Structure 1
Amino acid sequence: MRKGLSLKWVISGSFLLLIAVVLLIYSQLLSSYSVRGLLYTASAMMEEEALYFVRHYKKDPSLPPPQNYFFSSVIGKEALPPKIRQLLDTPPTLSFGAVQVFGELDADGQDEVKAILAQPLGDGKTLYMFDVDHDHEEGGEVETPLSDAYLDHELNSVNFISLAVFVPALIIIVLLVWWLVRPLGRLAQWSTTLKDPNAVSSQRPNFRFKEFNVLADSLAQSVQQVQAASLREGRLLRYTSHELRTPLAVLKANLELLALQSGGTLPPPLQRIERSVLNMQRIAETLLWMSRERLEPLPEEAIDMAKLFNELIQEHRYLIGKRDIELILDISNEPCRLPPTACRIVVGNFLRNALQYADEGSIEITFEQLQLRIVNRIRDTSQPEESSDFGYGLGLELMRQLCARLGWKIQVVTEQQRFTVTLDFNTTEPSASPQEHAEGDASEIN
């Protein structure tokens, strides 16, 4: 049997995945915004230097543009290096006030990024200030061991903080899930013992949480109600077995005595009583057998379906009355082995409904390859749904349950005043009711 996933590991794994995604996003945003922070610092320095130059340029227009190790400046766009002029003709990647940043931002510093500032001087001229990259100059790459060491230390601190958040969070989540799910597992394990009536009446274990205790009490109460209903049903079945079989047997014996006294033939009123007694006896046997939950299959015998239909038609012909109904039979002589009494009950029920509620016309009965099909016309009715008053409600539902227990398949189709019942005797997996009655001495079908 394939085992399902543990709830504890599903919840803890989900939280772990969530924390991992948050840390991944945090790491990506940290590197991106670190670069942005450095660019913002550089742009603020350039803008402050440009404003300082503007103040002094107004006093002395011959003042040369500011130059230092980190950035250079010129007056007029024509004085810019060709590469810088080309960048100004393209849209910037970022803008920090008067400073425009060109190029892709990369936390590793592999791609070249240029920051260019354009500051009007008030006399129609413009001061252009741009950062200078000395790494590509001969001997221009400068190592800053102290600063690099500080940056590495800060980055390592960030990684340590990430792990310090991740690992304890994982441990806390696992412990929290274990603390919450463990009572749920105990509840599930305890619920499997409720099949025993003694376990239901015993004291419920304490599941630590109020909600679990309330759920356990409700579950135990529901099981007790179901068991009480099963006991009541079992008693009803025993009473049905004892109390109904006795009057049915008395009626059947007295009808046999009356038949002997009248020369072997009963008058029509007594014949109707005899048929009703026989139907009651078969229905009682069917209900009792269905309620016994017997898992062993019913004994099968070779059945002559043509002979069975002839007997059933003779038994139920009185239902036709004065209506003009033609029976069209197409019964195959193929051998079949079926439970005789169950087969007689099901087929007799369908035939009885067909004869009793059919409109004038024909009733088609076919049996081939273990499949029975009964088609008859029905009277016009304003009720689109099946109704017990119309004759197919309770009886049809009872036959559905019986056939489901035997593994037979039923298909019912109602269309344009035609009622079609198809019964497939090819056995499938029988269905079983969840209730089991240990008691009851109902008669078995054989």
Structure 2
Amino acid sequence: MRKTWTLSLALALPLALAACGGSAPAGTTNGGGGQSGGTIKIGSLHPLSGSSAADGQQMDNGAKLAVEAINDAGGIKSQGGKKLELVSADTQGKPEVGQSEAQRLIQEGAVGLVGTYQSAVSANVSTVAERNKVPFVIDVSSADSILAQGYKNTFRVQPSSTVLGTSGAQFLDQVSKAAGKPVKSVAILHEQGPFGTAVRDAFKAEAEKSGIKVGPAIAYDAASVSDLTTQVTQVKASGADVLMVAGYYRDGVLAAKAVDTVKPALNAVYGVANGAFDLPQFPKEVGAAGEGYFDANYHADMTKPDMQALAQLYQSKYNDAIRTGAVLAYDSVQVIAAALEKAGSAEPAKVRDAIASGEVPTLIAGPGTIKFGPTGENLNATPILMQVQGGAPKQVFPADKAEAQPVYPAFKSQ
């Protein structure tokens, strides 16, 4: 089964003219010169330690599986079957560490980078990529400010914060109205970095267009927070009928535990780009407290056979359920591999141009392939709405991506 799947994905990569001979390009290592033999290095930058280590390890694993799939299917055929080599680095979730590690990977010959999970880290890595003219494909980091710099070497696979926040507000408005109980007021709980702040602003602007009152908006430090009971008590006092939460996995779990303790009278807890609420690990960790939680987010499309096969492979290899971040890392490596195939060269500038003009299949739910616009945004990156039902996250909206109907109100007011 694995062999069939890897071949099908490899065949989906854009093909290019066979590479001609010459000196070894940047990022290759071989003992005999030329394009034969050796490997093409791709750098993987993720938080492998610190508060986000579980997500970072998942994403690095996803990148590894993509490299294995491509190599098992014959490598980069336009370059004589040259194999890929993934070189992993630990950002520790710190911008300055991500920056120095990106520089190190490039100096060691990486022709492209994928990463990094935290927007603040990706912002620093993008400056390194631009300075060195090496392509950087963002798997997870949504802050709009990253691609607002006019850089030519940074591309983003996932939706931006504006797309996530705007769509999240629209989905909430539509689902609540369809249920006959329109949202009146929303409190926001968000991590204080560029990701959470940008999602907050986009969500608020769109929700207010629909006549929804937004506030209070309460920020916290995702790296250091250990309890969110005080913040959720503020939400309870506000009388809001929905709590929107934008953050990472660990703090998403803390939010769910705080809601279970404080018991505010809510119709829904509603994540937007939340790093916990749509993952299979979340309901297992928080139990019944997470039942009914929504999340408007990018998400692996479990209706696709190739995605089902990847999930099975990940489970068997790592004894863990795959998270969407790992799928985005997998897709990001596929983007670089497709560009290497199309360019017929491992020169970073040619790889960059091939990424900019290419089109690559995706395992993420959305309207089409990965295709980048002039600013580096994926033109087909859109979120969908998930909800924990029966102890597992289900795709519930829009209708063409739904595995089940949304339940709203998600639970009785308390």
- Tell whether the structures are fold-level matches, with TM greater than 0.5: no
Q: Which structure would you say has the larger Rg?
A: 1
Query: Normalising by structure 1, what TM-score?
Result: 0.19
Per the normalisation by structure 2, the TM-score is 0.20
Greater helix proportion? 1
